[in-house]
Structure 1
Amino acid sequence: MDIKQIQELIKFVSRSGVNEVAIEQKDFKITIKTNQAPTVITTTVPAVAPQVLPAAPAAQPVATTASDSAPAAATEDTSKYITIKSPMIGTFYRSSSPDKPSFANVGDEVSPGKIICIIEAMKLFNEIESEVSGRIVKVLVDNASPVEYDQPLFLVEPM
């Protein structure tokens, strides 16, 4: 790789929003890291209207009442959490290999710089670090499943 190719790669990385890219060839290795922090946005999940199947008419009001209060409570609870979102498209992994423990589980405390998962993109395994301090309350993605850019991965209760 010559200097012009490296400069173009740096420009591409800065425009793409990726935080880190590593390229390794026979006699050449380069890692480009940006100072951009992943975007962390707090969102509220809107309540979903419950679907009532045609059954006994007497059971419908009870089911509807219980369902109406549950989504409202869930909406209130998630508003105080920070959502950690995927900084890239790829495959989400909770651990470095199947026989290793997960980087982050529900109840674990995280701090800025702590690795919380890996996202594989184009045969590169990108370690995703937490940008917030808090306690993980929910993992929103299944292990080894594809994720999109800006897809919520974790809910974190700030500390």
Structure 2
Amino acid sequence: MGDHKDNGINIDPAYVRALAELLDDTQLSEIEVEDGDRKVRVVRTLTAAPVAYAPAPVAAPAAAPAVAAAPAAAAPAVDSFADAVKSPMVGTVYLSPEPGAPNFAAVGSAVKAGDTILIIEAMKVMNPIVAPAAGTLKAVHVENSQPVEFDQPLFTIS
């Protein structure tokens, strides 16, 4: 009853779901499994693709100070977020795995590449946001339970 027949191949939906969960757990974009005549490929669209647009907003404020001297005071604030990890999606930020639990990481603590720093909940899905590289967590630019927008600075590691 759980198997579906498609082009002469039995497909187990639970197996496909398990592969999809594996993609989420490992943050891979696709997985392909072959077993004799069976070949199952599961692909997900990464939310990181829009991050390619991140350099454009950073470049635009750099041109603004050349137009007028007054915005120069705002330039350091923009520069302080230049190295920040930015939100790949719109959602709600959670700094700890559950209410009342300690935060994933504290400012000043050492983090390894791949360590979860915070979670963004989007459409009832908890998306871990991880450290892109090893270093020290210098700043967290958001508060717990705060809504965030795409490309909003989340934290800085150096």
> What TM-score, normalized to structure 2?
0.55
For residue 43 of structure 2, what is the aligned residue in structure 1?
none
For residue 78 of structure 1, what is the aligned residue in structure 2?
80
CA–CA distance in structure 2, aligned partners of residues 34 and 149 of structure 1: 20
Gaps of at least 5 residues in structure 1 are 5-24, 51-67
What is the identity, as a one-letter code, of the residue corresponding to 1:134? G
For residue 34 of structure 1, what is the aligned residue in structure 2?
29
For residue 90 of structure 2, what is the aligned residue in structure 1?
89
Inter-CA distance 105–124: structure 2 relative to 1 (3 Å threshold): same
Q: Secondary structure at the match of 1:118?
A: strand
Does the 8 Å CA contact 1:90/1:119 hold for their aligned counterparts?
yes
Inter-CA distance 124–77: structure 2 relative to 1 (3 Å threshold): closer
For residue 128 of structure 2, what is the aligned residue in structure 1?
127
Runs of 4+ in 1 over 3 A off after TM superposition: 1-4, 35-50, 71-77
Inter-CA distance 126–78: structure 2 relative to 1 (3 Å threshold): same
CA–CA distance in structure 2, aligned partners of residues 151 and 3 of structure 1: 45
For residue 110 of structure 1, what is the aligned residue in structure 2?
111
> What TM-score, normalized to structure 1?
0.55
CA–CA distance in structure 2, aligned partners of residues 139 and 150 of structure 1: 15
Gaps of at least 5 residues in structure 2 are 7-13, 31-45
Q: More relative contact order in 1 or in 2 (CA 8 Å, sep 6+)?
A: 1
Percent pairwise identity = 37
Q: Which has the higher helix share?
A: 2
Q: Superposition RMSD on alpha carbons, in Å? A: 3.9
